[in-house]
Copies of this chain bind each other. A is one copy, B any other.
Amino acid sequence: MNKLINISEASSIAIHSLSLIAKLDQSINATQIANLTGFSKNHLSKILQLLVKHDYLKSSRGPKGGFVLIKDPKEISLLEIYELIEGAHSDNYCFDHSPVCPFQDCIYGDIIQDISMRFIDAFKKRTIADIKLKQNISYQSILEKLNR
């Protein structure tokens, strides 16, 4: 199944992981995050490395190691994470092929600009702190899972 919007598994992992880590006041390791979210541990690890390198997370190695958040989740927008992973994006859908495109305006009409704008707006406003755990999933129940 093709996706209309380009959101790679990589950015999905980044946003999920940050949200989860933000809810905890102790460190959590890659295996635990993978178990809780269902992403592959390998891929997840790679993304977490990136988030460490960009100063969203602090990592510690060895037994009892793991990751903690070192930024205020209210200050982390989905957009900045999305762009960190996917790179900056453009809403120019002319493929730069034709110096003399014979068509008036963009053949797609205004829709591309319209929805790009909406997406960016929404992802700029929404922060990691806005993402909530299910109500029946308590901090307690997560900790229990971690220790299995």
Contact = CB atoms under 8 A, between A and B. Distances in A.
A12 B95 contact: yes
Interface of A: 1-7, 9, 12, 15-16, 19-20, 36-40, 78, 86-93, 95, 97-105, 107-109, 111-112, 114-116, 118-120, 122-123, 126, 130-135, 137, 142
For A16, A95, A119, the residue with the greatest tally of chain B CB atoms inside 10 Å of its CB is: A95
For the complex of A and B, the 3 pairs showing the least CB-CB separation, nearest first, are A38-B98, A38-B97, A1-B90
A1 B115 contact: no
B122 A4 contact: no
Given A36-B102, A92-B1, A115 B107 contact: no
A8 to B, nearest CB: 9
Contact of A20 (B89, B102, B116, B132): B102
